[in-house]
Every structure is written in structure tokens, then in C-alpha cells.
Amino acid sequence: MVNYLLDFHEEPDETDIVSYSADNASINYDRICSVFQKLQQLNPKIVKVNCNCHVLHNAVKHCMKLLSYDVESLVLKVFGEFSISAKRVEFDGPLCFRLWKQRLLLDWNAIKRYFREEGENECNKIIWSFVANENSGLPECYIYFVHHLLNLFVKSIKILESEYITPLDVYDVMASIKDDIEIRRNDSFFGVKANQEMQKVNEVDRNKFRSEALVAYERAEDYLNKWFDYENSPFKAFKNVNVEKVAPTYEHFVEISKAVGVEDDIDNDALYEEIRVLQKTLEAIKNLI
């Protein structure tokens, strides 16, 4: 794999590869033997840059694993029942899943009625677990919560996939989704509709849902902390030179050079002069506005 990557260069030189971005498969980032470890042996300064869309995709799947009601499987089974071919129902990431789930919510009462009339013996077990008790609003709590959770992640994924995204914006996107989750966990906020449904169920079910939803938030935070280095990511340094939000300083650019391992290759005196030109230009533009 490493040789294959180096073959892309007309004159193979491992020092030409300054960063490596891939999904989180062990072949890419395992601590003992991985593509990144092999490249790091060739170039110790290489920067690890995970695919952050993939990180968010995996985070939302990881955080839902311990929920008592498997909403993802419900959506798949329901639309599999109504499709000519079950193969037509495929989830290609959180965005696709969210679109299918929105359709489910629009017709949820009719769907419940249909499968209840079918009866337990003719109904898929996963679907039946959501529709069996007509008077319980507990399944709806989970459906609305997952809907709210997906909206958070899909919003961030869309920004990262935008053609206008730059390395200067990435850290703020990743920090924002983490902050959104932390605030909701602290406030026990699971989305307006989920919180409303939660008040309709009995105390035992309400406590069960709240406990599992809080765990889901914690698992999402833990996954993000594991796969995005909030303290040492080079994107943290990049955000400090986003001229739309801050006034970059010489120190900010020195920080970037250290983050990407090129501090020894830079003429810092020349860098300082270039930053002064940049600052004067930004100040002149500001005065014209």
C-alpha cells in the first residue's frame, strides 16, 4: 500500500508526502502496523489527517448502538416491506438515513396502524417492537431523538462536504458539533418532539429513555475525542489565520509551521515581513469598508 502511494510520484520521495488522510480502518491507522505508521517511518514529519466526514458518520452510528429501540433497523425493515425489492432500500451514510426516516415520520401513524392490523405473527420482529403497544409513546421518543441527533451530524457533514470548505474552517465545524452535543447532554435536551413525547410516558419508561439518550450523547463525544485530536490537530492552528474571523499574527503562522512539522524549513524573518504586509493589507481593506 505504501509503495502504491509512492508510485504516484514521478520521482518517488517519501518527504514529498506531508500528510495522510483516510478512513479509520485499522489498515490505515493501527498503532502497531498500518499505512500511516509505515509512512511515518519514512517521513517522521508526516501529518495525520483523518477523513472527518467519516469520523462524523461513524460517531453517529456508534452512539446509537446501545439504544433499546433500533431506529435504523426499523426504517430499513419498514421500507423493505413496501419496496418491490429490498435491495432498493440502502443507507449510504447519515444523510440518506435521515431522508428515509423523515418519510417514515410523515406516515408513522398510518404505518403503525398497518402493521398492527397485520398482527404479530405476520410482522417483522423489529417493526413489531415499535408498534406492539398502541398506548406507549416510548418508541416515538427514540424515533424523534434519533431524528434530532441525525440533524446535528448531517448539518456538519454537509458543511465539510461543501465546495467552499477550507482547512481554516474544519476545526470550528468539528468543535461546534462536539459543543452542540455537550450542551444538549447537560440540558437533557433530546429534541423538542422527543422531550414532548417523553413527558407522556410513565416514569419508568421516561427514566429509561433519558438514561439511554444521555449515554448516546456521551458515546458520541467519546468517539469524536478519540478520532479527532482537538488538542493537537493541525486544523486548530489553521483556524487562527482565518482572516474572516480573526486578525492573524506572526505567532499564529509559527504555530502552523510547528503543527505541520516544517518549522525548521522556514525563514522566520521573511515570514515575519510577509505577515506584516498581510496585516497592513487587511487593515487597509477594513478602513475601506
Question: pLDDT truncated to tens, each residue of the chain (289 aa)?
Answer: 556 555 545 455 555 677 777 777 777 777 677 777 777 777 777 777 778 999 999 999 999 999 999 998 888 888 888 765 444 444 455 555 666 667 777 778 888 888 888 898 988 899 999 988 877 789 999 999 999 999 999 999 999 999 989 989 999 999 999 999 999 999 999 999 999 999 999 999 999 999 999 999 999 999 999 989 899 888 998 998 888 888 889 999 999 888 888 888 889 999 999 999 998 998 888 888 7
The answer to whether residues 151 and 98 touch, using CB atoms and an 8 Å cutoff, is yes
Question: What local confidence, expressed as pLDDT, does residue 81 receive?
Answer: 80
For residue 81, what are the contacts with CB-CB under 8 A and spacing of at least 6?
A: 124, 127
DSSP annotation string for 176-200 = HHHHHHHHHHHHT---HHHHHHHTT
Each residue's pLDDT tens digit, 80-106: 887 654 444 444 555 556 666 677 777
Torsion of CA 18, 24, 30, 34, to 10 degrees: -50
What interhelical angle do 203-227 and 167-187 show, nearest 10? 160
Contact partners, residue 138, CB within 8 Å, separation at least 6: 69, 201, 205, 208, 209
Q: How many helices (H) and strands (E) does the chain have?
A: 15, 2
For 221-244, what is each residue's pLDDT tens digit? 999 999 898 998 889 989 988 888
Q: Round to whole Å and give the CA distance between 129 and 53.
A: 32
75 neighbors 104 (Cβ within 8 angstroms): yes
Global pTM reads 0.81
Burial of 287 (0-12, 13-18, 19+ CB in 10 A): exposed
